[in-house]
């Protein structure tokens, strides 16, 4: 396989890549899914190491990246901050510059995951990835930070295209709706969904109760994306109204807009969120749609974010999207790290 024009490129947010580049990755992911165990694919990263740096754990992310590396002929190495002497605001240790430069000598790529309780203020996790990218000589792949989750966004689009039977999502309506839940999640998957789907021309309705505003810079970018594509964008603060006409319902909990104002308090966020019991995706609400697909990045908080009937129903594609994480990550790794 020859080097692609994406060779050596970081993936911190899908907006860093052009639509053409995103489609390149999605097309390759489809091919790799069809020919999953092709002998040719096993040679792309043969004998190389992908370093996975987990500030926060994730069963699905670790499994999918390790499987992706294996199927490309590489080895995925699991790393945690507690096993490394890293400089922090409270302790001496190795700087990001030093860690990034050294790790670049060992691996062909570096993945980083940092969320919620591992940062002091919103944006710190994303800033850490940007700093790694500044000093690393190999691609930095965002495995989820507090702002963005590009591999999840790509997997979402791949799943929607698969089930709509078309790569053209223009004119389809996405309902991105807050759900009450007990996990106090970062905004990353939600914001990535809004950013990438608006670039592919989807109409977007963003629904959430007062006090759960997302990053205003991201929301303004989504609004601009929709305007550029001639698509509709609206924000509503109603638990039901947005379902009308929706082709896709993405119901997920996220933390409030003041979650970091006095230090991140997960229990306080959970207790506050569980007070909005009307904000659950159920069959009654889904019946207002023209047979919409249900999508979720998982893990799903059943009984709070969504009922079992919807999550396990015939229009739920969350397992397909979870599988697609493997394929889009293989594609991204092949394009950015493979020769």
Q: With bands split at pLDDT 50, 70 and 90, how would you rate the model's confidence at 320?
A: very high
Q: Is the pLDDT of residue 1 over 60?
A: no
Q: With bands split at pLDDT 50, 70 and 90, how would you rate the model's confidence at 90?
A: low
Contacts of 229 (CB under 8 A, 6+ apart): 170, 198, 199, 200, 201
Task: Give the CATH number of domain 152-321.
Answer: 3.40.50.1370
Provide the percentage of residues in the chain whose pLDDT is more than 70.
Answer: 97
Say what the pLDDT of residue 91 is. 67
> To the nearest whole number, what is the mean pLDDT of the chain?
96
Taking residues 6-18, report their average pLDDT.
98
- The model's pLDDT over 273-285, given as tens digits with 9 standing for 90+, comes to 999 999 999 999 9
Q: Is the pLDDT of residue 89 over 70?
A: no
- The model's pLDDT over 123-181, given as tens digits with 9 standing for 90+, comes to 999 999 999 999 999 999 999 999 999 999 999 999 999 999 999 999 999 999 999 99
**Fold match flag (14-148+323-337 vs 152-321):** yes
Provide the percentage of residues in the chain whose pLDDT is more than 90.
Answer: 93
248 dihedral zone (left: phi>0; alpha: psi -120 to 50; beta): beta
- The model's pLDDT over 224-254, given as tens digits with 9 standing for 90+, comes to 999 999 999 999 999 999 999 999 999 999 9
Beta strands (DSSP E) in the chain are: 49-54, 75-79, 109-113, 140-142, 173-178, 203-207, 233-236, 248-252, 293-295
Q: Where are the domains of the chain?
A: 14-148+323-337, 152-321
Say what the pLDDT of residue 4 is. 84
CA atoms of 68 and 171, how far apart (whole Å): 33
pTM above 0.85, yes or no: yes
Q: Is the pLDDT of residue 85 over 90?
A: no
Residue 2 carries which DSSP code? P
- The model's pLDDT over 204-224, given as tens digits with 9 standing for 90+, comes to 999 999 999 999 999 999 999
Q: With bands split at pLDDT 50, 70 and 90, how would you rate the model's confidence at 87?
A: low
Say what the pLDDT of residue 2 is. 67
In 50-89, which positions are buried (b, 16+ CB within 10 angstroms) versus exposed (e)?
A: bbbbbbbeeeebbebbbebbebbbbebbebeeeeeebeee
Say what the pLDDT of residue 94 is. 87
Domain 14-148+323-337 matching CATH 3.40.50.1370: the answer reads yes
């Amino acid at each position: 396989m020859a080097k692609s024009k994406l060779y050596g490129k970081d993936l911190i947010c899908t907006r860093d890549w052009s639509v053409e580049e995103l489609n390149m990755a999605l097309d390759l992911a489809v091919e790799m899914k069809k020919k999953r165990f092709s002998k040719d694919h096993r040679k792309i990263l043969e004998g190389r190491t992908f370093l996975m740096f987990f500030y926060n754990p994730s069963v699905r992310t670790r499994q999918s990246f390790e499987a992706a590396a294996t199927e490309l002929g590489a080895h995925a190495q699991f790393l945690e901050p507690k096993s490394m002497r890293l400089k922090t605001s409270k302790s001496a240790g190795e700087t990001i510059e030093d860690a990034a430069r050294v790790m670049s000598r060992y691996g062909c790529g570096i993945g980083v995951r940092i969320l919620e309780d591992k940062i002091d203020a919103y944006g710190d996790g994303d800033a850490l990835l940007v700093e790694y990218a500044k000093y690393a000589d190999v691609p930095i792949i965002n495995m989820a930070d507090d702002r963005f989750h590009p591999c999840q966004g790509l997997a979402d689009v791949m799943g929607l295209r698969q089930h709509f039977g078309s790569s053209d999502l223009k004119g389809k309506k996405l309902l991105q709706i807050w759900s009450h839940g007990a996990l106090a999640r970062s905004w990353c998957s939600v914001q990535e969904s809004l950013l990438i789907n608006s670039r592919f021309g989807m109409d977007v309705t963003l629904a959430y109760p007062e006090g759960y505003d997302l990053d205003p810079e991201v929301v303004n970018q989504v609004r601009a994306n929709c305007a550029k594509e001639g698509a509709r964008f609206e924000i509503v603060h109603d638990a039901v109204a947005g379902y009308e006409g929706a082709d896709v319902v993405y119901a997920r909990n996220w933390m409030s807009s003041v979650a970091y104002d006095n230090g991140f308090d997960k229990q306080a966020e959970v207790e506050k969120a569980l007070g909005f019991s009307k904000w659950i995706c159920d069959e009654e609400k889904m019946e207002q749609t023209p047979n919409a697909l249900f999508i979720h990045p998982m893990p799903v908080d059943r009984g709070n974010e969504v009922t079992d009937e919807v999550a396990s129903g015939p229009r739920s594609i969350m397992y397909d999207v979870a599988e697609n994480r493997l394929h889009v990550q293989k594609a991204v790794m092949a394009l950015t790290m493979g020769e």
